[in-house]
Amino acid sequence: GESVGLHLPTLSVQEGDNSIINCAYSNSASDYFIWYKQESGKGPQFIIDIRSNMDKRQGQRVTVLLNKTVKHLSLQIAATQPGDSAVYFCAENMANQAGTALIFGKGTTLSVSS
């Protein structure tokens, strides 16, 4: 079936660098996307979301970019900190259909070294 996937399973950066985590989705009908952060032993935590009528959305130190033409989603983290070390998942949904579930990709493990 269709699913959301991530380009790289791991990403290692230095503290202070900017991080970019990528995600490719295959369901062109998806119109709502979320990035989650999951720390060890915890449930996923919402970071930022974006709807398909936008191509960019900014939060605190994070930016999500959506390219519907190539079905690509990215999460940019500015000035990455050790506390950003976690597994990051993207998820997709068809928001205009209330009866659809969030589908997750496999995740990218971000490691931040001091």
Partner 1 sequence: GAGVSQSPSNKVTEKGKDVELRCDPISGHTALYWYRQSLGQGLEFLIYFQGNSAPDKSGLPSDRFSAERTGGSVSTLTIQRTQQEDSAVYLCASSSRGGTEAFFGQGTRLTVV
Residues that bind partner 1 in the complex, under the rule CB under 8 A: 32, 34, 36, 42-46, 49, 89, 91, 93-107
- Closer by beta carbon to partner 1, 80 or else 93: 93
Q: Integer distance in angstroms from the first to the last C-alpha of the chain?
A: 40
Distance in Å, CB of 93 to partner 1, minimum: 6
Give the bridge partners for 10, in sequence order: 109
- Closer by beta carbon to partner 1, 47 or else 77: 47
**Nearest C-alpha neighbor of 72 from the set 21, 110, 9, 11:** 21
- Closer by beta carbon to partner 1, 70 or else 101: 101
Distance in Å, CB of 24 to partner 1, minimum: 14
β 10-14/32-38 pair status: unpaired
